[in-house]
Structure formats: structure tokens, C-alpha cells
Amino acid sequence: MLESSPDIWPPFETTLPSALGPPEVPALANMGLAQRRQPALLLVDDDPFMLGMQSRMLRSMGYTMIGTAESADAALALLGEGRAAVDVVICDLNMPGVDGLEFLRRLGDSDFRGSVIVLSGEGPRIIHAVQKLLAGRPLRILGALEKPAGRAVLRVMLDRWQTTIAPAPQRTLPTFTAADLQAAQQAEQWVLHYQPKVDLRTGALTGTEALLRWNHPEHGLVYPDGFIGLAEDCGAIGALTDWVLRAALAQLARWQEDGLNIHMAVNVSMENLRAPDFARKVGAMVRQRRLSPQDLTLEVTESRVMAISAAPLETLVRLRMQRFGLSIDDFGTGHSSLAQLRDVPFTELKIDRGFVHGARHNQLIRPMLEGSVGIAQRLGLQTVAEGVETEDDWTLLREIGCDIARGYFIGRPMAGDHLGAWLADWQAKQPRLIAS
Ligand code: C2E
Ligand code: CA
Ligand code: CA
């Protein structure tokens, strides 16, 4: 049964909005979630001392609706009986009897639709693994923290509840067909957006990456995840990449004529690299625009798990012999591995955002980020960090000597015409960011 900590006043039953009977505060089910300011919290921990300490802390942070349970069973009984509308369950992993993992599994099977923060003294690797385990559950995981959790991190997690509670309605896209792609190709419904890349030491704009969007007459802008796989499967990717290369090079030529001395990165599929004339074709396109091969970097991601085979490797070597830049994209994810780094003459290593954003305070990914930069430096490759979303990310990358950054902190993908305005904004804040 519910154990109410004596430290918490008023006690649980009256502080949490009841889902039964007349609610003090409207119950979860009866109101627009976004209207609520205060999440109702339920702390689950077998250690009464810890329960008391964490709830006192939460109270001092201004949270008033706090309940406690000293076992998973007590918490499940409480939530299952619908006696309390809980928004966020903060639970310990290591409990006797029903442990945190089983508790969360059962919670996922119940009709609980709130959020969860996992607390554990087990260290970052366990916490990370638990986060992965929970990813497939119908629970909203706000995060996992080492115990005891400090005020600052708890605040971040609970703020996350505020921002994720009313998620933007997900557009459900139809499944496109090969015929749709063909029609799009004929009507040229493609648009490129460009995302800036800047030098971490000087702050200078070094180039942009071209990101493809499908300007669909009914569905609006469709992002690459919605159609690149299909284009690869149905043989449309060849013509599509030709279009992307032509448009990106035309834009680059315009920027260079305007005096911007920058380069362009374009994503290519493994399928493109299988075409025997790909390297020759790209060479011809660049010459036609009077650009230099050094101005173009081709980014390669292996989307399927397999070793790079002879035909794509041949194309990559040909491209490199013409002095195009070659980038291993999403480095660190399952498909872009050390074996590819060993076998392909890459000039640039792009570290996936999963190893970049938040690395400063994450003891698990930070060494991997530092290690990746170290490997690239020793191999003489340029390093590009993706997913730089905060000033913390930016500062850490400067400290560890990464070369180039890209991400929302610097600029979102934008239409080519907007680059000038973005640059003016960026240059205004640049001095502060490269001050130390
Ligand atoms: P990518 O090359 O890793 O591109 C980065 C993706 O992350 C882009 O999404 C970009 O909008 C997004 N992004 C950029 N900065 C941040 C950040 O700070 N935080 C977060 N959370 N996200 C960020 P997008 O445009 O949807 O592209 C997804 C993927 O589609 C690309 O991943 C690339 O692999 C592929 N793609 C894009 N354009 C093309 C193309 O022309 N041809 C091919 N074959 N693939 C493309
Ligand atoms: Ca890319
Ligand atoms: Ca990437």
C-alpha cells in the first residue's frame, strides 16, 4: 500500500489530484494537459531516507504535488486503482522484490500514460542501457539520472515534461510509391535547404550541406527520411542525386560569384556509388560550373549493414583521385564503422549527433567523442561535429580540438536566399563564441 512520507505535507492523497471523486485540481483526463503548470509527481524508492530527501528537495524547488511509495507494488496498486492522477513517476531502479525494470515493464503494460524519470546509483552505463530498454515502451521517458539527483538536472527533466506534454501533432505521411516519385521528378518538386558549417576556432563559415526536401503539393515539405529509402529501392535515386548535385553546384557557383569563399557538401547513397559512371559524371558537372573538385564533399552513409563492396569502393577511389572531398557521415552509428574508415580514402569524419549533443555532461559519450576526434586527427582527417545544439556542445568541441561544427546552435537548414541574413546574425555573435 501507499506509504506516505511524514516529510511531505500535505500527505499524498490530498496533494495529488484525485482521478476519482471531485478533484481538487481537475484530473488528468479532464483537462487540456498543456494548461497545467505543475506536474503531479510520484517518487518510488525502497529507501525512506532517500524518499524524504528527494521529496524535500522537490518541494523546495516549488513542486507541491508530490507522492511517495516505498515499493513498486505500492506504486502499481496506487496507479492501477486510479486513485491518483500522476504525471511523472520518478523511480529507483534497484529495489528488493519487484525491481525498477520490472516495475517499468508493468507500468508500460498498464494504462498509465504519464512520464517517467529513472533514478539509479548504478552508474551511467546501466542508466544508458535502461534508457535503450525503455525506448520501445509506450511510456514517455523524460530521462535517467544518477542518484541522488541534484536540483539542476531534476529541473531540466521536469521542464522537459512541460515541453513534451503537448507534443506537436505528428503528421502521418502516406506511404509513397515509385510512381509518386516519378511524378515528383517530372514536376521537379524538389527543394534544397542548406545548413551552415562553421570553423570552431575562428567561427568563420566554411561551407554548407545541401539537404533535400520534397515540396509535395498535398503534404507540404516532406523530409528525406520519408522518401530516400524508397528512391534507393526503386532505382530513382540516380536521377534524384543528379538533380541534387546540379542544384547544389548551381547555388555554390552563385555564392562564390558573390564573393563567398565556401564549399558544398552533398549526401550520396551507396546506390549512387554502384553506378560505374558516377565519378566521371560528378567531375563533368563541377567543370561545367567552373568549380573546383575541392569545393565539393560527398557524404556517404551506409544505410544497410554490410561491408563496402568493390563497385562503390572503386567509385570512391575515383572521386578521391579527382580531389573531391569524401566524408564518412554519421560516424559512430552501427553502419559507419572503423572498418569503413580503414578501407575508404575518406578526407573527413562527421561525428553523429548522438555523440555530440550533451557530451559535456555525459560520461559515457564524452570519451567516445574525444576518441573519435583523436582517431580522425591521427589519420589526418578533418572532423565535423553534427548536432551542435547548445553553447555547452560548442565549447566542449572547441576544447577538444574538433575542426568544424554544424547544428541548430549555429543555424537550421534554410533556403539558399537566406544564407546572407543568417551570416550577418552569426557574425554578430561570433566574437563572443570564439573569445576564449
Ligand atoms: P544527415 O546528413 O546526418 O543530416 C542531418 C540531419 O539532421 C538533417 O535532417 C538536419 O536537418 C538535422 N539536423 C541538423 N542539425 C541538427 C541539430 O542540431 N539537431 C538535430 N536534432 N538535428 C539536426 P534531414 O534534412 O531530415 O536529413 C536526414 C538525412 O537524410 C540526412 O542525414 C541524410 O543522411 C539524408 N539526406 C538528406 N538529403 C539527402 C540527399 O540529397 N540525398 C541522400 N541520399 N540523402 C539525403
Ligand atoms: Ca550528411
Ligand atoms: Ca549525419
- For the chain, the domains span 2-159, 178-433
Residue with CA closest to ligand 1 atom 45: 267
Per residue in 366-398, pLDDT (tens digit) is: 999 999 999 999 999 999 999 999 999 999 999
User: Does the domain made of 2-159 have the CATH classification 3.40.50.2300?
Assistant: yes
Atom number in ligand 1 closest to CA 231: 44
Is residue 360 over pLDDT 90? yes
Using pLDDT thresholds of 50, 70 and 90, give the confidence band for residue 328. Answer: very high
Of 143, 136, 135, the residue nearest 91 (C-alpha): 143
Using pLDDT thresholds of 50, 70 and 90, give the confidence band for residue 171. Answer: low
Question: What per-residue confidence (pLDDT) applies to 176?
Answer: 93
Q: How far is the CA of 303 from the centre of ligand 2 (A)?
A: 12
Q: How far is the CA of 267 from the centre of ligand 2 (A)?
A: 5
Pocket test for ligand 1, best of 192, 193, 212, 267 (most atoms within 8 A of CB): 267
Top-confidence range, 14-23, 32-41, 314-323 = 314-323
Is the shortest distance between the CB of 228 and ligand 1 below 6 Å? yes
Neighbours of ion ligand 2 (CB under 5 A): 267, 299, 329
Using pLDDT thresholds of 50, 70 and 90, give the confidence band for residue 338. Answer: confident
- Higher-pLDDT residue of 211, 97: 211
Question: What per-residue confidence (pLDDT) applies to 395?
Answer: 97
Q: How far is the CA of 211 from the centre of ligand 1 (A)?
A: 6
Per residue in 74-96, pLDDT (tens digit) is: 888 888 765 567 889 999 888 88
Element (DSSP H or E) covering residue 355:
none
C-alpha to C-alpha distance for 66 and 59, rounded to whole angstroms = 8
> Minimum-distance ligand to the CA of 356?
1
> Minimum-distance ligand to the CA of 299?
2
The mean per-residue pLDDT over the stretch 112-132 comes to 81
Q: Which grid coordinates belong to 146?
A: 544518477
Cβ atoms of 195 and 406 closer than 8 Å? yes
- Higher-pLDDT residue of 168, 204: 204
Q: Where does 165-210 have alpha helices with state H?
A: 178-186
Q: How far is the CA of 193 from the centre of ligand 1 (A)?
A: 10
Per residue in 47-63, pLDDT (tens digit) is: 998 888 888 999 888 88
Question: What per-residue confidence (pLDDT) applies to 306?
Answer: 57
Q: How far is the CA of 266 from the centre of ligand 1 (A)?
A: 11
Top-confidence range, 119-123, 324-328, 333-337 = 324-328
Decide: helix, strand or coil at residue 170: coil
Is the shortest distance between the CB of 301 and ligand 1 below 6 Å? yes
The reported pTM is: 0.73
- Lowest mean pLDDT of 89-103, 206-220, 315-329, name the range: 89-103
Q: How far is the CA of 418 from the centre of ligand 1 (A)?
A: 18
Cβ atoms of 85 and 19 closer than 8 Å? yes
Residue-averaged pLDDT of the chain: 85
> Minimum-distance ligand to the CA of 265?
2
Atom number in ligand 1 closest to CA 266: 41
Of 231, 266, 262, the residue nearest 248 (C-alpha): 266
Question: What per-residue confidence (pLDDT) applies to 290?
Answer: 97
Q: Where does 35-150 have alpha helices with state H?
A: 48-60, 72-80, 100-109, 124-134
Using pLDDT thresholds of 50, 70 and 90, give the confidence band for residue 401. Answer: very high
Is residue 408 over pLDDT 90? yes
Is the shortest distance between the CB of 211 and ligand 1 below 6 Å? yes
- Higher-pLDDT residue of 193, 9: 193
C-alpha to C-alpha distance for 177 and 234, rounded to whole angstroms = 9
What is the C-alpha R_g of the chain?
26
Is the shortest distance between the CB of 282 and ligand 1 below 6 Å? no
C-alpha to C-alpha distance for 244 and 191, rounded to whole angstroms = 9
Question: What per-residue confidence (pLDDT) applies to 94?
Answer: 85
Q: How far is the CA of 387 from the centre of ligand 3 (A)?
A: 9
C-alpha to C-alpha distance for 282 and 280, rounded to whole angstroms = 6
Return the CATH fold of 178-433. TIM Barrel (3.20.20)
